[in-house]
Structure 1
Amino acid sequence: MSRARRLAARLVALTAAATLLASCTWAGNQPGHPERKAFTVGVTEPFNRLDPAANGVGMSDAMVLASFQRLLALDPGDGLLKPDAANCVYRTPVSYRCTLVEGLEFIDGTPVDPAAVKFSIERAIALDDTGEARTLFAALAGIETGPDTVVFRLSRPDNQFGYALAAPVASLVSPAAYRPDRVRPASQLAVGSGPYRMEIITEHRVGFTAYPDYVGFAPSGQERLSIQRYEASEFLRNAMTNAEVDVVWGGLDEQQEGALGVQVEANPLGTTRDGFRRLVEPAGRSWTLAWSPRSALRADAELRGRVADAVTPLRTDFSLLPPDAPGYRAVFGDATEPRTGPPVRVSLGFDNDVADEALRAERVSAALRGAGFDVLVQPDERRADLWLGSPEPATDSPIAQLLPWLAAPLPESADEARALAARLGAAATLADRRAVLADLQVLSARDATVLPLWREDRDTWMGPGISTTGRAYLGPGGQLAVWGFRW
């Protein structure tokens, strides 16, 4: 064997040994280990998005928020935009300047500089396959960079632009680790400048350590963090009993939530028998029934009307905006009775990892069958004609809340939708804003491609020794913000 080959073999062996040692060291901090030292969040939903530019499901946004930094952050406490990697101001109605915090670096040592910001935003738009980035950045005409500044040139006034910069899709990525023309595989560790450094990822666990060089809005609340995915609600419930998790984010079914609620009511300390406290975000989750833009049936106005009428008896939510949002209007009204017609076969998809989602899908399926549809229920099939889900908005802003519809309106409504979005960005008064939002909501109801169904409280369970303040554990659109917990 040549010297070069011997050296290569030795390097491979050393790398393998180091990887094994790191895995063993990290394993000692995982759920079930007798000396667990990692703050652990238990979930049942999957995570398939570690690249901010990718289309993710389940817990993907939470992973992005933990690993990456954005120019701005949306404070869940007061709803205001705050500096994260930069201080940003409008120089003119069509010029938005951000001055970067000095000395920021990605975890690979690449500087977080204006060139990296320009790369990240342009890359997110170029790789967008859902319409999210293109809709949020619809007013962006160009990006100019200076030694420590980034100037976003807008094609029109847009008072919503700062919210776009706080969205997960606007996260900053290292140009040395990410390609401009390709999404980074989900099997590769994230390379960001956020509050946490991703250390290990498997199908059921993502492990982090606090990134010591992070400077920004969301300093980490724990030195070691593990997000552990369980295959079913009962496994997650057992993990609470066995003290394997510190926080439970969703994942429990209605029966388990009810039983824990009884324990809380019976305990003067307001905890379950296992010491968990309940955090309630009122109406924190909303369910919609959305037509796939790829469905051949979506263009049929009669079919869309029949579907909308069929699910009306289930509906307790009447707009894509939350009821407490300024400008809210109940545009999806009541139908006297479902319209019937010739039998049509439609497929209905849903995320089978969401607790009780199969039961919700059966309710929707029964309503559709009552209107004469032949329904094929397809768990986890995102190519189905209709998708039942609980999409989390990118940010708590009207454009983001309308995004499931606004990113893919009907072709005949697209120009009007874009014009209304532009009017919203230019609205100078609250009255103007309310009027435009009313028109947007009416147009979304006319399209009837995304149907609001109902809202439910979001219950999060916080274990012994864990604390948070107000809504600090929530991200810009109600996602999990792990840094908001203190251990």
Structure 2
Amino acid sequence: MPSIARSLLSAVTALCVAVGTAGCLQTPAPLPSGSSSATAPERPFTVLTAQKATTTDPAAGRNDSDTMVSLDLFQRLMLVQPGSQLLKPDLAKECIFVAERIFECTLPKDVLFTSGRPLTSSDVKFSILRALRLAPGRMSLLGALSSIETPDAWTVRFRLKYPDNQFGYGLAVPAASIVDEAAYDADKVRPVNQPAIGSGPYQLEGWDARGLTITKYQRYRGALNTDMPRIRIAWADSPTAEQAIADGQAEIVWRTLSPAAIDRLMDRSRQAQNDHREPGFFRWGLFRVVLQRLVWLPSSQRRSDAALRRAVSLALQEDRTASSLMPSTIEGHTDAFALGGTPKMPTLPRGIKLTLRFTNTSPAMADLANEVRDQLQQRLGITVQVVTESERADLELRDSAPLVNSPLGWLQDYLKSPLPGSAGKLATLEERVRSSSRDEVQLPALGEIQKQAAADATVVPIAETDGVLFVRQRVDLVGEAFGPGWQLALWGARWRN
């Protein structure tokens, strides 16, 4: 694990103290050795989110709900617990550097896909190469990969172009999930109407217009055992989800709630505690795990205009609360983007029109999109049209999780689409971070990347915010309950005894 990865456990603890210990859990408990004895309700364990999943193919994921599905249905060679940055095997029995540029993983011999086929090294090689073709942006942490060898059915050998301390983290990202080579097309995304075939702790039971249902995969072999036999993941807007968690008709509500709904639920929780009653739900402490950012899309013809990019960044400075593309909770954070003040706005040519899109299933992002539009129009004298996530645009507001909760994981939005004039410098700096484990090498290089990001302004930070996750009082999330970038995973869901 790189020395620059700082645990977020102290930050989460601070949040729990701030909101009261009865309203927050500090950190997932260890995985239990046996099954829970509590009686579950007749309906399935229910998770509500407004962000609809679009695919079961891990190489085609576009949003955090797609990521959740991939994390639950498939395995990856490696596993990362985001709070501690602990990197350990998931599917693999062992993964080690056998030489400076050779990373070798050994597979167990008793893993079966839900199709019944044994999972072998050939499936691993196929899946990684397939994902690199179909989803190169989501596999960018494997940039040092040169070739993959399979000397036998249970050994996978990765040859690297240079020593890389991030390579194991790249094998833990959702897109690096292992699929059945016999069932998946090497060059095409698997349609939703074809069964998902993985080896994860869950398997897909059904998918419909209102959500999807997953069930425990009884032949799963791995580090993430679950006691939950069946989980329903359903789509719901903020009012529906708010009422459901308050009435005990949902076990988890993720992302969906508007700021006003969050305030109302927290008020209900505090009032219940004042009345010496259990509130029935609580907010899970995810302190500053979301970075709201404005991204210039590579397809935009306006992206190459350096003066316009700088003007957009300046127009957001007065209200900006995040000073880097790395959250302040991550060691190596550098204050690269100016905050506050009254910067002098440049004079731009008349008639500039930009299109701004946002994730329309997130109520907070809808409000933010309108605020950003107003700031750009009022301060720069340009026209900005707000559209939803499926439409073409110049700019995009994002609050999606990073690939991994690590410095380079957070910087991938910027690093994977560099400006031509910055590409060489950034590649050198990124390799410097990857190939050394010494702070005196890594930290200056990370600082230079963040400063170059501010100069290029192709990705502009807006605010660091807390994750929105409400959990029913009788539910717990234990063990490695989240994906590598704080994505929700359901393998840690348990009924409390």
Q: What residue identity is the alignment partner of 1:368?
A: L
Counterparts of 1:291-370 in structure 2, within 5 Å, are 291-334=296-339, 336-343=343-350, 344-370=352-378
Counterparts of 1:360-399 in structure 2, within 5 Å, are 360-370=368-378, 371-399=380-408
Q: Is 1:99 the counterpart of 2:85 in the alignment?
A: no
The residue number in structure 1 matching 2:25 is: none
Q: 1:438 to 1:172 in 2, by over 3 A?
A: same
Is the partner of 2:169 in helix, strand or coil?
Answer: helix
Output the CA distance in 1 between the equivalents of 2:486 and 2:348: 39
Cα deviations by residue, 1:113-141 (Å, 9 ceiling, x for unpaired): 1100000001101112x6232x2221111
Is the partner of 1:311 in helix, strand or coil?
Answer: helix
Q: Is 1:160 the counterpart of 2:166 in the alignment?
A: yes
The residue number in structure 1 matching 2:13 is: none
Output the CA distance in 2 between the equivalents of 1:158 and 1:224: 39
Counterparts of 1:55-134 in structure 2, within 5 Å, are 55-86=61-92, 87-128=94-135, 131-133=137-139
The residue number in structure 1 matching 2:36 is: none
Is the partner of 2:285 in helix, strand or coil?
Answer: strand
Question: Alpha-carbon deviation of 1:77?
Answer: 4.5
Kindly indicate whether the alpha-carbon contact (under 8 Å) linking 1:221 and 1:482 is maintained by their aligned counterparts in 2. Answer: no
Question: Alpha-carbon deviation of 1:368?
Answer: 0.4
Q: What residue identity is the alignment partner of 2:244?
A: A
The residue number in structure 2 matching 1:22 is: none
The residue number in structure 2 matching 1:24 is: none
Output the CA distance in 2 between the equivalents of 1:146 and 1:170: 20
Cα deviations by residue, 1:228-281 (Å, 9 ceiling, x for unpaired): 111x21111222244331111121111111011112222338999761121121
Q: What residue identity is the alignment partner of 2:367?
A: L
The residue number in structure 1 matching 2:27 is: none
Cα deviations by residue, 1:52-87 (Å, 9 ceiling, x for unpaired): 111412411001100100001002352111111111
Q: What residue identity is the alignment partner of 2:358?
A: F
Unaligned runs of 5+ in 2: 1-39
Q: Is 1:43 the counterpart of 2:52 in the alignment?
A: no
Q: What residue identity is the alignment partner of 2:374?
A: A
Output the CA distance in 2 between the equivalents of 1:155 and 1:447: 27
Q: 1:397 to 1:176 in 2, by over 3 A?
A: same
Kindly indicate whether the alpha-carbon contact (under 8 Å) linking 1:315 and 1:454 is maintained by their aligned counterparts in 2. Answer: yes
Output the CA distance in 2 between the equivalents of 1:301 and 1:203: 43
Q: 1:337 to 1:236 in 2, by over 3 A?
A: same
The more displaced of 457-466 and 67-76 is 457-466
Q: What residue identity is the alignment partner of 1:465?
A: R
The more displaced of 380-389 and 451-460 is 380-389
Q: 1:272 to 1:373 in 2, by over 3 A?
A: farther
Kindly indicate whether the alpha-carbon contact (under 8 Å) linking 1:64 and 1:168 is maintained by their aligned counterparts in 2. Answer: yes
Counterparts of 1:223-262 in structure 2, within 5 Å, are 223-230=229-236, 232-262=237-267
Output the CA distance in 1 between the equivalents of 2:276 and 2:422: 50
Aligned counterpart in structure 1 of residue 222 of structure 2, from 190, 193, 216 = 216
Q: 1:155 to 1:385 in 2, by over 3 A?
A: same
The residue number in structure 2 matching 1:12 is: none
Aligned counterpart in structure 2 of residue 205 of structure 1, from 211, 215, 226 = 211
Output the CA distance in 2 between the equivalents of 1:462 and 1:437: 36
Output the CA distance in 2 between the equivalents of 1:35 and 1:479: 26
Output the CA distance in 1 between the equivalents of 2:444 and 2:225: 39
Aligned counterpart in structure 2 of residue 432 of structure 1, from 427, 438, 441 = 441
Q: What residue identity is the alignment partner of 1:353?
A: T
Question: Alpha-carbon deviation of 1:427?
Answer: 1.4
Output the CA distance in 2 between the equivalents of 1:159 and 1:229: 38
The more displaced of 242-251 and 367-376 is 242-251
Q: 1:164 to 1:358 in 2, by over 3 A?
A: same
Q: Is 1:281 the counterpart of 2:289 in the alignment?
A: no
Q: What residue identity is the alignment partner of 1:321?
A: M
Output the CA distance in 2 between the equivalents of 1:78 and 1:486: 21
Output the CA distance in 2 between the equivalents of 1:361 and 1:115: 45
Output the CA distance in 2 between the equivalents of 1:79 and 1:456: 20
Is the partner of 1:143 in helix, strand or coil?
Answer: strand
Cα deviations by residue, 1:157-186 (Å, 9 ceiling, x for unpaired): 111000000000110001111110111113
Q: 1:77 to 1:310 in 2, by over 3 A?
A: closer
Cα deviations by residue, 1:441-484 (Å, 9 ceiling, x for unpaired): 11211211010100111131111321124x74321101001112
Is the partner of 1:194 in helix, strand or coil?
Answer: coil
Is the partner of 2:60 in helix, strand or coil?
Answer: coil
Output the CA distance in 1 between the equivalents of 2:138 and 2:282: 35
The residue number in structure 2 matching 1:464 is: 473
Q: What residue identity is the alignment partner of 1:474?
A: F
Q: What residue identity is the alignment partner of 1:92?
A: A
Question: Alpha-carbon deviation of 1:384?
Answer: 0.6
Kindly indicate whether the alpha-carbon contact (under 8 Å) linking 1:271 and 1:277 is maintained by their aligned counterparts in 2. Answer: no
Q: Is 1:173 the counterpart of 2:179 in the alignment?
A: yes
Q: Is 1:474 the counterpart of 2:479 in the alignment?
A: no
Kindly indicate whether the alpha-carbon contact (under 8 Å) linking 1:246 and 1:466 is maintained by their aligned counterparts in 2. Answer: yes
Identity of aligned residues (%): 35
Cα deviations by residue, 1:328-381 (Å, 9 ceiling, x for unpaired): 101111462333422310001011111232211111001100111101111224
Output the CA distance in 2 between the equivalents of 1:93 and 1:303: 44
Output the CA distance in 1 between the equivalents of 2:271 and 2:326: 36
Kindly indicate whether the alpha-carbon contact (under 8 Å) linking 2:288 and 2:329 is maintained by their aligned counterparts in 1. Answer: no
Output the CA distance in 2 between the equivalents of 1:477 and 1:49: 19
Q: 1:49 to 1:312 in 2, by over 3 A?
A: farther
Kindly indicate whether the alpha-carbon contact (under 8 Å) linking 2:225 and 2:491 is maintained by their aligned counterparts in 1. Answer: yes
Q: What residue identity is the alignment partner of 1:247?
A: I
Is the partner of 1:461 in helix, strand or coil?
Answer: strand
Kindly indicate whether the alpha-carbon contact (under 8 Å) linking 2:251 and 2:475 is maintained by their aligned counterparts in 1. Answer: yes
Output the CA distance in 1 between the equivalents of 2:344 and 2:149: 56
Kindly indicate whether the alpha-carbon contact (under 8 Å) linking 1:51 and 1:183 is maintained by their aligned counterparts in 2. Answer: yes
The more displaced of 374-383 and 202-211 is 374-383
Output the CA distance in 2 between the equivalents of 1:264 and 1:176: 51
Unaligned runs of 5+ in 1: 1-33
Output the CA distance in 1 between the equivalents of 2:447 and 2:134: 31
Kindly indicate whether the alpha-carbon contact (under 8 Å) linking 1:82 and 1:217 is maintained by their aligned counterparts in 2. Answer: no
